[in-house]
Amino acid sequence: MKILLIFLLVILISFIVVQLFSLKSQKDIETYTYVVNKKYNKFEIRSYDATLFTSVKLPNKTFNKASSKGFSILAGYIFGDNKRNEKISMTSPVMMSLEDSITMMFMVPKKFNKETLPQPNQAEIKFRDEPSKTMAAITFGGWANDKKIEQYKQQLKLALDTAGVAYTNRFYFMGYNPPFEVFNRKNEVIVELTKNYSQVDKK
Protein backbone atom coordinates (compact mmCIF):
# COMPACT_ATOMS: atom_id res chain seq x y z
CA MET A 1 0.00 0.00 0.00
CA LYS A 2 2.83 2.36 0.90
CA ILE A 3 4.57 1.69 -2.43
CA LEU A 4 1.31 2.40 -4.29
CA LEU A 5 0.89 5.73 -2.47
CA ILE A 6 4.47 6.72 -3.29
CA PHE A 7 3.91 5.75 -6.93
CA LEU A 8 0.72 7.83 -7.12
CA LEU A 9 2.48 10.78 -5.44
CA VAL A 10 5.30 10.62 -8.01
CA ILE A 11 2.76 10.58 -10.84
CA LEU A 12 0.90 13.57 -9.33
CA ILE A 13 4.11 15.57 -8.90
CA SER A 14 5.20 14.73 -12.45
CA PHE A 15 1.80 15.81 -13.77
CA ILE A 16 2.00 19.15 -11.94
CA VAL A 17 5.54 19.77 -13.18
CA VAL A 18 4.54 19.04 -16.79
CA GLN A 19 1.53 21.37 -16.56
CA LEU A 20 3.57 24.21 -15.02
CA PHE A 21 6.29 23.79 -17.64
CA SER A 22 3.67 23.81 -20.39
CA LEU A 23 2.06 27.00 -19.08
CA LYS A 24 5.45 28.73 -18.89
CA SER A 25 6.38 27.56 -22.39
CA GLN A 26 3.13 28.92 -23.85
CA LYS A 27 3.98 32.41 -22.60
CA ASP A 28 7.22 32.42 -24.59
CA ILE A 29 5.74 31.15 -27.88
CA GLU A 30 5.38 33.53 -30.83
CA THR A 31 1.75 33.83 -31.93
CA TYR A 32 -0.30 34.74 -35.01
CA THR A 33 -0.89 38.43 -34.32
CA TYR A 34 -4.20 40.22 -34.76
CA VAL A 35 -6.21 43.23 -33.63
CA VAL A 36 -9.80 42.89 -32.39
CA ASN A 37 -12.04 45.18 -34.46
CA LYS A 38 -15.38 44.41 -32.87
CA LYS A 39 -16.80 42.05 -30.23
CA TYR A 40 -20.18 40.38 -30.48
CA ASN A 41 -21.91 38.15 -27.95
CA LYS A 42 -20.64 34.85 -29.39
CA PHE A 43 -17.78 35.88 -31.67
CA GLU A 44 -15.37 38.67 -32.50
CA ILE A 45 -14.03 40.29 -35.64
CA ARG A 46 -10.24 40.43 -36.02
CA SER A 47 -7.67 41.83 -38.44
CA TYR A 48 -4.72 39.48 -38.95
CA ASP A 49 -1.29 40.49 -40.21
CA ALA A 50 0.21 39.02 -43.39
CA THR A 51 2.09 35.91 -42.24
CA LEU A 52 4.24 33.10 -43.63
CA PHE A 53 3.37 29.48 -42.80
CA THR A 54 4.81 26.04 -43.40
CA SER A 55 2.02 23.79 -44.61
CA VAL A 56 1.16 20.26 -45.61
CA LYS A 57 -1.95 19.16 -47.50
CA LEU A 58 -3.50 15.93 -46.22
CA PRO A 59 -5.94 13.54 -47.91
CA ASN A 60 -7.76 12.88 -44.62
CA LYS A 61 -10.96 14.79 -43.94
CA THR A 62 -11.32 13.81 -40.28
CA PHE A 63 -9.66 15.97 -37.63
CA ASN A 64 -8.03 13.16 -35.62
CA LYS A 65 -6.33 11.48 -38.58
CA ALA A 66 -5.29 14.72 -40.28
CA SER A 67 -4.05 16.43 -37.12
CA SER A 68 -1.88 13.49 -36.10
CA LYS A 69 -0.34 13.01 -39.56
CA GLY A 70 0.07 16.72 -40.29
CA PHE A 71 1.59 17.51 -36.90
CA SER A 72 4.09 14.67 -37.28
CA ILE A 73 5.27 15.97 -40.68
CA LEU A 74 5.51 19.67 -39.74
CA ALA A 75 6.92 19.04 -36.27
CA GLY A 76 9.62 16.86 -37.82
CA TYR A 77 10.59 19.76 -40.09
CA ILE A 78 10.89 22.34 -37.29
CA PHE A 79 12.66 19.88 -34.99
CA GLY A 80 15.50 19.56 -37.50
CA ASP A 81 14.39 17.25 -40.30
CA ASN A 82 15.43 19.72 -43.01
CA LYS A 83 18.36 20.38 -45.34
CA ARG A 84 20.31 22.27 -42.65
CA ASN A 85 19.31 20.07 -39.70
CA GLU A 86 18.20 23.34 -38.12
CA LYS A 87 15.67 23.59 -35.31
CA ILE A 88 12.93 26.22 -35.63
CA SER A 89 10.92 27.53 -32.69
CA MET A 90 7.38 26.27 -32.23
CA THR A 91 4.65 28.88 -32.71
CA SER A 92 0.96 29.10 -31.86
CA PRO A 93 -1.69 28.32 -32.88
CA VAL A 94 -1.59 25.24 -35.07
CA MET A 95 -3.98 26.02 -37.93
CA MET A 96 -6.02 23.66 -40.11
CA SER A 97 -8.24 24.48 -43.09
CA LEU A 98 -11.72 22.93 -42.87
CA GLU A 99 -12.16 21.69 -46.42
CA ASP A 100 -12.63 18.37 -48.21
CA SER A 101 -8.88 17.85 -47.84
CA ILE A 102 -7.29 19.42 -44.79
CA THR A 103 -4.19 21.61 -44.88
CA MET A 104 -2.28 21.96 -41.61
CA MET A 105 -0.14 25.05 -41.08
CA PHE A 106 2.54 26.16 -38.61
CA MET A 107 3.28 29.88 -38.46
CA VAL A 108 6.89 30.69 -39.34
CA PRO A 109 8.73 32.81 -36.73
CA LYS A 110 8.99 36.38 -38.00
CA LYS A 111 12.79 36.33 -38.11
CA PHE A 112 12.55 34.01 -41.14
CA ASN A 113 11.37 34.52 -44.71
CA LYS A 114 11.17 32.11 -47.64
CA GLU A 115 14.80 32.72 -48.55
CA THR A 116 16.22 32.18 -45.06
CA LEU A 117 14.12 29.16 -44.07
CA PRO A 118 15.87 25.78 -44.34
CA GLN A 119 14.49 23.70 -47.19
CA PRO A 120 12.37 20.74 -46.07
CA ASN A 121 13.42 17.14 -46.68
CA GLN A 122 9.77 16.19 -47.31
CA ALA A 123 8.45 17.32 -50.69
CA GLU A 124 4.90 17.65 -49.36
CA ILE A 125 5.88 20.58 -47.08
CA LYS A 126 5.22 23.94 -48.74
CA PHE A 127 5.81 27.54 -47.70
CA ARG A 128 2.56 29.49 -47.79
CA ASP A 129 2.09 33.26 -47.68
CA GLU A 130 -1.17 34.27 -46.03
CA PRO A 131 -2.09 37.92 -46.77
CA SER A 132 -3.55 40.27 -44.18
CA LYS A 133 -7.23 39.46 -43.72
CA THR A 134 -10.31 40.06 -41.61
CA MET A 135 -11.67 37.06 -39.74
CA ALA A 136 -14.52 36.15 -37.42
CA ALA A 137 -13.60 33.83 -34.53
CA ILE A 138 -15.55 31.73 -32.04
CA THR A 139 -13.69 30.19 -29.07
CA PHE A 140 -14.20 26.95 -27.14
CA GLY A 141 -12.28 24.96 -24.53
CA GLY A 142 -11.33 21.35 -23.91
CA TRP A 143 -9.98 18.89 -26.46
CA ALA A 144 -11.11 19.36 -30.04
CA ASN A 145 -12.66 16.66 -32.20
CA ASP A 146 -14.66 16.52 -35.44
CA LYS A 147 -18.02 16.81 -33.66
CA LYS A 148 -17.05 19.86 -31.60
CA ILE A 149 -15.37 21.63 -34.51
CA GLU A 150 -18.47 21.17 -36.68
CA GLN A 151 -20.71 22.25 -33.81
CA TYR A 152 -18.84 25.52 -33.33
CA LYS A 153 -18.54 26.08 -37.06
CA GLN A 154 -22.34 25.95 -37.30
CA GLN A 155 -22.68 28.21 -34.24
CA LEU A 156 -20.37 30.73 -35.86
CA LYS A 157 -22.29 30.65 -39.15
CA LEU A 158 -25.59 31.15 -37.35
CA ALA A 159 -24.19 34.04 -35.28
CA LEU A 160 -22.74 35.71 -38.38
CA ASP A 161 -26.01 35.29 -40.31
CA THR A 162 -27.96 36.74 -37.39
CA ALA A 163 -25.61 39.73 -37.14
CA GLY A 164 -25.69 40.27 -40.91
CA VAL A 165 -21.94 39.75 -41.28
CA ALA A 166 -20.90 38.53 -44.75
CA TYR A 167 -18.35 35.69 -44.77
CA THR A 168 -16.61 33.39 -47.23
CA ASN A 169 -16.44 29.58 -47.24
CA ARG A 170 -12.82 29.62 -45.97
CA PHE A 171 -13.10 28.18 -42.44
CA TYR A 172 -10.16 27.17 -40.25
CA PHE A 173 -9.57 25.47 -36.92
CA MET A 174 -6.96 26.88 -34.54
CA GLY A 175 -5.52 24.87 -31.64
CA TYR A 176 -3.43 26.67 -29.05
CA ASN A 177 -2.30 23.89 -26.67
CA PRO A 178 -0.12 20.78 -26.86
CA PRO A 179 -2.03 17.50 -26.32
CA PHE A 180 -0.59 16.96 -22.80
CA GLU A 181 -1.76 20.35 -21.50
CA VAL A 182 -4.91 19.87 -19.39
CA PHE A 183 -5.82 23.31 -18.05
CA ASN A 184 -6.87 26.48 -19.88
CA ARG A 185 -7.21 24.74 -23.23
CA LYS A 186 -8.20 27.08 -26.06
CA ASN A 187 -9.53 26.28 -29.53
CA GLU A 188 -11.13 28.45 -32.19
CA VAL A 189 -13.07 28.13 -35.42
CA ILE A 190 -12.44 31.13 -37.65
CA VAL A 191 -13.65 32.22 -41.06
CA GLU A 192 -12.49 34.84 -43.54
CA LEU A 193 -14.96 37.67 -44.05
CA THR A 194 -15.74 39.20 -47.42
CA LYS A 195 -13.74 42.23 -48.51
CA ASN A 196 -16.92 44.29 -48.63
CA TYR A 197 -17.51 43.67 -44.93
CA SER A 198 -13.94 44.65 -44.06
CA GLN A 199 -14.25 47.98 -45.86
CA VAL A 200 -17.59 48.85 -44.26
CA ASP A 201 -16.68 47.73 -40.75
CA LYS A 202 -13.50 49.80 -40.59
CA LYS A 203 -15.28 53.08 -41.33
Pairing of strands 133-140, 125-130: unpaired
Q: For residue range 135-144, what is the model confidence (pLDDT) as tens digits?
A: 999 999 999 9
Is residue 22 included in any domain, yes or no? no
Buried b (16+ CB within 10 A) or exposed e, 178-189: eeebeeebbbbb
The answer to whether residue 6 is domain-embedded is: no
Residue 175's domain comprises 33-201
**pLDDT above 60 for 198:** no
Q: Is residue 9 part of a domain?
A: no
- What pTM was estimated for this model as a whole? 0.82
- Residues 110-134: tens digit of each pLDDT: 999 999 999 999 999 999 999 999 9
Residue at 14 is within a domain: no
The CATH number covering residue 64 comes to: 3.20.80.10
Does any domain span residue 19?
no
Averaged confidence pLDDT in the chain: 86
Mean pLDDT for the stretch of residues 183-190: 90
Residues 2-39 have pLDDT tens digits of 676 665 555 545 444 444 444 444 556 899 999 999 99
DSSP class per residue in 90-121: -EE-EEEE-SSSEEEEEEPPTT--TTTSPPBS
Q: Is residue 3 part of a domain?
A: no
Q: How many domains does the chain have?
A: 1
The yes-or-no verdict on residue 202 having pLDDT over 70 is no
Cis peptide before 118 (omega within 30 of 0): no
Has residue 25 been placed in a domain?
A: no
Asked if residue 130 belongs to a domain, the reply is yes
